[in-house]
């Protein structure tokens, strides 16, 4: 807490210096259109000078200026710019402005996603699109982009997992319960590279890989478009759940320097972030805009109280003598010195975006981003009655208290695009090249390899993973008259995936305790390429009726071809106040190179057995062949959406959208396949002959059907008093069903042994571990120099069936509401400050065990059995709040973030 107070003091000093440096007068007023409607987000700049402001939700602006003559410019998308002369003479001035609608009505932002033939506004789009502004992201009180989205988009979910290892480098996320692999991430409309990491822990996102959203600095983002519909026909693989397009800041308006510092109510998790966004305008239309961000976050810890008797059974010899030792240790350290929380992380990010006209028709554009991140997380603490250290980790003659292994990940992520866009005679040609990559190398410290005993090192390099891609695109569109638009294009993509071996000591024998290294036989390099082409036709049958059709053909070097299509339509009714829209499409997702080639050893908690080492064999290994695992093939999907939009005025809008997603041949990371109890099945023979104790693999194991409803409503410019303007927002997602369609497809050898690749534990993890429903209700109030934001997020129930939990029980996290507030103040037009308090009521996850049948109820009624089951899912109490598998929102409770902005 002291660090946080010091940071606040530093901010206050800076604030005092900046605000007391000069005496200034106030220029204020409102901006309206010719209909008298107040306009929000109008850019207000001083010609020939840096700095400026923008109008708030009530159309009001305010500048602090020294005495002098100025020309003030007012610009907004869809309106003709206006400039007015102003003379400041040591008194405040009020200047109201009226902007006239431009010849082409662009009163709403044009969205880039949804159709490759023509672009539409978000309300007139054929498909449901969320448009999230930079200010909406920044008022969430979150430092990272993914955590900010969690508080703005109901169908978007992400949460930090309690047992991290490599997952601490980036948290799994998903839209509409479809996993990170099925949402395509774009940066300025171009495909961003996925991470090199596959999530393999028993937590949401298992078996998946996704892009590193936190690699994009939030202060570099202009807005985010989220297309909530399948879009494989437009964009290719990975777009089954939808598309997220991150639009970067472009035209330079002012330099902004920001410093932010935060802490949790427990006094841990101290964070400090500094960010600089700047650039320059080049000529009349050219620009360069760049962002530099440095960020540090300290670890948090929410430990539980460990049960001595069960720990003695699991981690010691179970005798009465050893129980006395266990109790003595836990009396001193009730949490067994375990760390359960978020890791320590340091990140440096850089992003640049530029555009430069070559002539009257052609523009050169480019952007590039790079992030270096170092994350340190903590494995389960090895108590002295669990593991020995051979005198390597404690000084001779001192008491041995066990050891806590640490995991450090060093991540490098980059992406870059260059291209040329030409618009002439109704034709648009866009030619681009994009490259991107992600590399992760790991270090495990403060541990030993028990197979090496006293000869073991205490620091290991267990290897890592690398992925990179190169993408070439040609996209051509043509408006044929007023009603027909045609788009077509092609894409070439090459991908490379590498598993990097660790040092010999990290994988010899048992391997480094807590995180065994990658052995040389498991190290490999894999690559592939694919080519695709599409045709997109959009036709306005009438002013009110629009149809769109898209077809796409793809060829992959490792599995062949895929053909997909999409048909969508939109009708406007009641003087364009009502919009009806619907679409049906097929989609596909190619198995990632990670899923095809991953082969490693993994350590995880097994109830009653402690930490056990298991294996993952890749799809083309001899072991997979002996088990009867078929070659991976693409997932196939059918998406259907139907929606209603209602916009009776400029200030109110409502959309309701239904979705139905059917995914066939869905790729999963299987359950752990082990020996049978009898040991006489054919499976036992194969496992024994190959020295396998437990094994998992990727397979096209299931078919799922997901359906739900999204609701988004906004009401802005509500008058509060004489100068206050209020905007109300509601967004909600309800999952009607997310279930298996038919039985899992198991290899015969495994099904004959009475086992399944997709057991009830994995089923709950995949289908019900995210909230059943989630809703966000908030308001933003601007009064003069003050701004207030209130956000309430409702997290519905999430259901797990954890490993070790009685099969007649399920674990349900209860419905909770988290309330966030953000208070801001503008000190003139150059300095502003804000304080955000997230989860102000300190709500934490809370679960209950529920019976599935009468046998389960009998377990709940028996205190001994109930305690045993709770121990099984919390590692004997170490993870008492969120269990070993994670929860539906963060366990940290109330957090604080103070921010200071300087416009230079």
Residues 81 and 168 in one domain: no
Report d(CA 575, CA 648) in Å as an integer: 9
- For 610-670, the DSSP string reads EEEEEEE--TTSHHHHHTTPPPP--EEEEEEEEEEEEEEETTEEEEEEEEEEEEEEEEEEP
Residues 80 and 219 in one domain: no
Report d(CA 415, CA 211) in Å as an integer: 11
Partners of 294 in the beta sheet? Answer: 274, 348
Residue 460: alpha-carbon gap to chain centroid: 30
Report d(CA 522, CA 542) in Å as an integer: 60
Q: Is the pLDDT of residue 614 over 70?
A: no
Angle of the 854-861 helix axis to the 863-874 helix axis, nearest 10? 100
Q: Is the pLDDT of residue 899 over 60?
A: yes
- DSSP E strand boundaries for 67-172: 68-75, 82-88, 93-94, 97-99, 110-111, 120-121, 129-133, 156-158
Q: Is the pLDDT of residue 426 over 70?
A: yes
- For 857-893, the DSSP string reads HHHHH-HHHHHHHHHHHHTTTTTTTT-TT--SS-SS-
pLDDT at 185: 95
pLDDT at 105: 31
Residues 89 and 119 in one domain: no
pLDDT at 53: 82
Smallest CA-to-CA distance from 111 within 253, 228, 18, 7 is with: 228
Residue 342: alpha-carbon gap to chain centroid: 16
Q: Is the pLDDT of residue 346 over 90?
A: yes
What lies within 8 Å, CB to CB, of 762 at 6+ separation is: 206, 668, 670, 671
Q: Is the pLDDT of residue 79 over 90?
A: no
CB atoms within 10 A of CB 692: 19
The parent domain of residue 781 ranges over 108-303+338-903
Per residue in 357-383, pLDDT tens? 999 999 999 999 999 999 999 999 999
Q: Is the pLDDT of residue 120 over 70?
A: no
Q: Is the pLDDT of residue 693 over 70?
A: yes
Angle of the 308-315 helix axis to the 320-332 helix axis, nearest 10? 120
Residues 534 and 680 in one domain: yes
Within-domain flag for 322? no
Per residue in 828-863, pLDDT tens? 888 999 999 999 999 999 999 999 999 999 999 999
pLDDT at 407: 94
Partners of 274 in the beta sheet? Answer: 259, 294
DSSP classification of residue 103: S
Contact 312, 385 (CB under 8 A): yes
Within-domain flag for 321? no
Per residue in 562-601, pLDDT tens? 999 999 999 999 988 999 999 999 999 999 999 999 998 6
Partners of 345 in the beta sheet? Answer: 297, 375
CB atoms within 10 A of CB 333: 15
* 638 against 173, higher pLDDT: 638
Per residue in 229-273, pLDDT tens? 899 999 998 999 999 999 999 999 889 999 999 999 999 999 999
Residues 74 and 215 in one domain: no
Q: Is the pLDDT of residue 165 over 80?
A: no
pLDDT at 814: 96
Average pLDDT for residues 500-526, to the nearest whole number? 93
Residues 94 and 120 in one domain: no
pLDDT at 121: 45
pLDDT at 606: 52
What lies within 8 Å, CB to CB, of 368 at 6+ separation is: 351, 352, 414, 415, 416, 417
CA angle 646–649–650, rounded 5-degree value: 110
- pLDDT confidence band for 103 (50 / 70 / 90): very low
Residues 468 and 408 in one domain: yes
Average pLDDT for residues 857-881, to the nearest whole number? 94
Last residue within a domain, chosen from 99, 120, 137: 99
Average pLDDT for residues 344-365, to the nearest whole number? 96
Last residue within a domain, chosen from 64, 99, 134: 99
Within-domain flag for 320? no
Partners of 543 in the beta sheet? Answer: none
Buried b (16+ CB within 10 A) or exposed e, 839-866: bbeebbbebebebeeeebeebbeeeeee
Residues 130 and 86 in one domain: no
Average pLDDT for residues 452-464, to the nearest whole number? 96
Q: Beta strands 286-297 and 271-282: pairing type?
A: antiparallel
Contact 442, 406 (CB under 8 A): no
Report d(CA 147, CA 45) in Å as an integer: 32
Domain count, the chain: 2
Report d(CA 861, CA 873) in Å as an integer: 18
Exposed, middle or buried by CB within 10 Å (0-12, 13-18, 19+), for 228? buried
Smallest CA-to-CA distance from 473 within 512, 408, 531, 551 is with: 531
Average pLDDT for residues 747-753, to the nearest whole number? 94
CB atoms within 10 A of CB 78: 17
Q: Three-class SS of residue 181?
A: helix
Q: Is the pLDDT of residue 7 over 90?
A: no
Within-domain flag for 310? no
- pLDDT confidence band for 56 (50 / 70 / 90): confident
Q: Beta strands 256-264 and 895-903: pairing type?
A: antiparallel
pLDDT at 784: 85
pLDDT at 104: 36
- For 413-439, the DSSP string reads EEEEEEEEEEEETTEEEEEEEEEEEEE
Q: Is the pLDDT of residue 167 over 80?
A: no
Q: Beta strands 816-827 and 809-813: pairing type?
A: unpaired
* 689 against 464, higher pLDDT: 464
Per residue in 187-235, pLDDT tens? 999 999 999 999 888 888 889 999 999 889 999 999 999 988 899 999 9
* 808 against 115, higher pLDDT: 808
Average pLDDT for residues 308-313, to the nearest whole number? 94
Report d(CA 325, CA 312) in Å as an integer: 9
Average pLDDT for residues 454-475, to the nearest whole number? 97
Contact 904, 256 (CB under 8 A): yes
Q: Is the pLDDT of residue 19 over 90?
A: no
Q: Is the pLDDT of residue 110 over 80?
A: no
pLDDT at 67: 82
| Segment (H or E) for 760 | helix 760-767
Q: 821 φ, ψ to 5°?
A: -130, 150
Percent residues over pLDDT 90 in the chain:
66
Buried b (16+ CB within 10 A) or exposed e, 124-162: bbbbbbbbbbbebbbbbbbbbbbbbbbbbbbbbbbbbbb
Smallest CA-to-CA distance from 59 within 71, 74, 70, 47 is with: 74
Residue 750: alpha-carbon gap to chain centroid: 35
Per residue in 313-323, pLDDT tens? 999 988 988 99
| Segment (H or E) for 271 | strand 271-282
Per residue in 770-827, pLDDT tens? 999 999 999 999 998 899 999 999 999 999 998 889 999 999 999 999 999 999 999 9
Residues 651 and 549 in one domain: yes
What lies within 8 Å, CB to CB, of 55 at 6+ separation is: 30, 31, 38, 39, 40, 41, 42, 44, 61
Q: Is the pLDDT of residue 670 over 90?
A: yes
User: What's the Cα-to-Cα distance from 258 to each of 221, 275, 903, rounded to whole Å?
Assistant: 14, 5, 9
Report d(CA 802, CA 162) in Å as an integer: 14
User: What's the Cα-to-Cα distance from 531 to each of 477, 492, 549, 590, rounded to whole Å?
Assistant: 20, 5, 21, 13
Within-domain flag for 575? yes
- pLDDT confidence band for 22 (50 / 70 / 90): very low
pLDDT at 5: 54
Average pLDDT for residues 411-420, to the nearest whole number? 97
Within-domain flag for 541? yes
Q: Three-class SS of residue 486?
A: strand
Mean pLDDT of the chain: 89
What lies within 8 Å, CB to CB, of 648 at 6+ separation is: 577
DSSP classification of residue 592: P
Within-domain flag for 323? no
**Residue 63 is part of a domain; what is its CATH number?**
2.60.40.1120
Contact 303, 339 (CB under 8 A): yes
Q: Is the pLDDT of residue 709 over 60?
A: yes
pLDDT at 348: 98
User: What's the Cα-to-Cα distance from 432 to each of 292, 369, 422, rounded to whole Å?
Assistant: 25, 16, 12
Within-domain flag for 313? no
Per residue in 379-398, pLDDT tens? 999 999 999 999 999 999 99
**Residue 854 is part of a domain; what is its CATH number?**
2.40.170.20
* 604 against 636, higher pLDDT: 636
Report d(CA 286, CA 357) in Å as an integer: 6
Smallest CA-to-CA distance from 760 within 826, 806, 729, 708 is with: 806
pLDDT at 563: 95
Q: Beta strands 221-227 and 895-903: pairing type?
A: unpaired
Contact 875, 380 (CB under 8 A): yes
Residues 623 and 700 in one domain: yes
pLDDT at 609: 52
Residues 168 and 38 in one domain: no
Partners of 410 in the beta sheet? Answer: 374, 441
Contact 426, 442 (CB under 8 A): no
Smallest CA-to-CA distance from 793 within 729, 881, 725 is with: 729
Q: Is the pLDDT of residue 3 over 90?
A: no
Last residue within a domain, chosen from 74, 99, 124: 99
Residues 644 and 744 in one domain: yes
pLDDT at 21: 40
């Amino acid at each position: 807490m002291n660090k946080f107070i010091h940071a606040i003091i530093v901010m206050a000093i800076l604030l005092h210096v900046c605000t007391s440096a000069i005496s200034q007068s106030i220029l204020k007023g409102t901006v309206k259109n010719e209909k008298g409607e107040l306009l929000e987000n109008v850019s207000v700049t001083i010609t020939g000078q840096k700095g400026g402001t923008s109008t708030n939700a009530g159309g009001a602006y305010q500048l602090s200026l020294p005495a002098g003559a100025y020309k003030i410019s007012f610009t907004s998308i869809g309106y003709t710019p206006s400039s007015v002369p102003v003379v400041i003479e040591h008194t405040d001035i009020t200047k109201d402005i009226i902007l006239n609608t431009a010849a082409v009505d662009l009163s709403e932002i044009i969205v880039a996603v949804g159709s490759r033939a023509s672009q539409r506004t978000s309300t007139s789009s054929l498909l449901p699109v969320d448009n999230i502004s930079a200010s909406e992201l920044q008022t969430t009180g979150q430092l990272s982009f993914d955590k900010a989205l969690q508080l703005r988009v109901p169908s978007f979910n992400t949460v930090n997992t309690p047992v991290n290892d490599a997952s601490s480098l980036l948290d799994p996320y998903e839209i509409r319960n479809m996993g990170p692999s099925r949402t395509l991430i774009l940066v300025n409309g171009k495909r961003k590279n996925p991470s090199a990491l596959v999530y393999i822990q028993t937590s949401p996102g298992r078996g998946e890989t996704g892009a590193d959203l936190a690699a994009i600095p939030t202060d570099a983002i202009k807005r985010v478009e989220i297309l909530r519909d399948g879009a494989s026909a437009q964009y290719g693989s990975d777009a089954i759940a939808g598309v997220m397009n991150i639009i970067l800041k472009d035209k330079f308006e002012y330099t902004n320097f920001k410093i932010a510092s935060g802490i949790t109510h427990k006094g841990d998790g101290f964070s400090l972030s500094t960010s600089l966004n700047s650039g320059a305008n080049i000529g009349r239309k050219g620009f360069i805009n760049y962002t530099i961000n440095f960020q540090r976050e300290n670890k948090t810890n929410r430990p539980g109280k460990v049960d001595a008797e069960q720990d003695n059974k699991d981690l010691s010899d179970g005798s009465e003598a050893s129980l006395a030792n266990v109790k003595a240790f836990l009396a001193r350290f009730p949490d067994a010195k375990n760390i359960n929380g978020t890791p320590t992380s340091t990140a440096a990010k850089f992003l640049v975006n530029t555009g430069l006209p070559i002539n009257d028709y052609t523009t050169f554009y480019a952007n590039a981003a790079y992030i270096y991140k170092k994350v340190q997380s903590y494995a389960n603490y090895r108590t002295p009655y669990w593991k020995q250290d051979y005198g390597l980790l404690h000084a001779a003659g001192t008491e041995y208290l066990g050891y806590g292994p640490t995991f450090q990940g060093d991540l490098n992520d980059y992406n870059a695009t260059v291209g040329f866009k030409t618009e002439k005679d109704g034709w648009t040609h866009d030619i681009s090249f994009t490259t991107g990559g992600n590399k992760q190398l790991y270090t495990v410290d403060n541990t030993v390899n028990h197979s090496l005993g006293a000869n073991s090192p205490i620091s290991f390099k267990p290897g890592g993973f690398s992925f990179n891609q190169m993408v070439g695109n040609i996209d051509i569109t043509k408006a044929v008259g007023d009603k027909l638009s045609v788009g077509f294009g092609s894409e070439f993509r090459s991908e490379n995936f590498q598993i990097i071996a660790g040092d010999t000591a990290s994988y010899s024998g048992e391997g480094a305790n807590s995180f065994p290294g990658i052995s040389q036989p498991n190290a490999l390099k894999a690559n592939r390429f694919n080519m695709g082409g599409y045709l997109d036709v959009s036709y306005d049958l009438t002013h009110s009726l629009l149809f769109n059709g898209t077809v796409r053909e793809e060829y992959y070097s490792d599995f062949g071809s895929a053909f997909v299509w999409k048909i969508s339509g939109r009708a406007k009714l009641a003087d364009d106040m009502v919009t009806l829209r619907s679409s049906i499409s097929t989609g596909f997702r190619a198995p990632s190179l990670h899923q095809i080639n991953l082969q490693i050893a993994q350590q995880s908690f097994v109830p009653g057995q402690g930490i056990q080492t298991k294996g993952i064999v890749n799809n083309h290994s001899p072991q997979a062949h002996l088990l009867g695992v078929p070659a991976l093939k693409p997932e196939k999907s059918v998406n259907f959406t139907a929606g209603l939009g209602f916009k009776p005025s400029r200030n109110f809008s409502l959309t309701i959208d239904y979705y139905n997603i059917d995914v066939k041949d869905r790729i999963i990371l299987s359950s752990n396949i082990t020996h049978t109890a009898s040991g006489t099945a054919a499976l036992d023979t194969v496992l024994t002959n190959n020295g396998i104790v437990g094994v998992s693999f990727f397979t096209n194991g299931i078919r799922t059907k997901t359906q739900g409803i999204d609701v988004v409503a906004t009401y802005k410019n509500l008058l509060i008093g004489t100068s206050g303007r209020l905007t109300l927002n509601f967004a909600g997602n309800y999952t009607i069903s997310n279930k298996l369609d038919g039985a899992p497809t198991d290899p015969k050898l495994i099904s004959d042994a009475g086992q399944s690749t997709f057991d009830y534990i994995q089923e709950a993890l995949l289908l019900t571990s995210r909230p059943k429903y989630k809703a966000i209700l908030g308001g933003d109030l601007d009064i003069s120099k003050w701004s207030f934001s209130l956000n309430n997020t409702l997290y519905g129930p999430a259901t797990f069936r954890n490993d070790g939990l009685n099969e007649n029980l399920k674990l349900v996290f209860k419905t909770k509401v988290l309330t966030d507030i953000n208070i801001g103040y503008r000190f003139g037009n150059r300095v502003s400050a804000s304080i955000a308090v997230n989860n102000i009521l300190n709500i934490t996850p809370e679960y209950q065990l529920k019976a599935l049948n009468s046998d389960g109820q009998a377990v709940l009624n028996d205190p001994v059995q109930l305690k045993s089951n709770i121990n099984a899912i919390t590692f004997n109490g170490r993870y008492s709040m969120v269990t070993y598998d994670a929860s539906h929102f963060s366990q940290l409770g109330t957090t604080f973030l103070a921010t200071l902005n300087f416009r230079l």
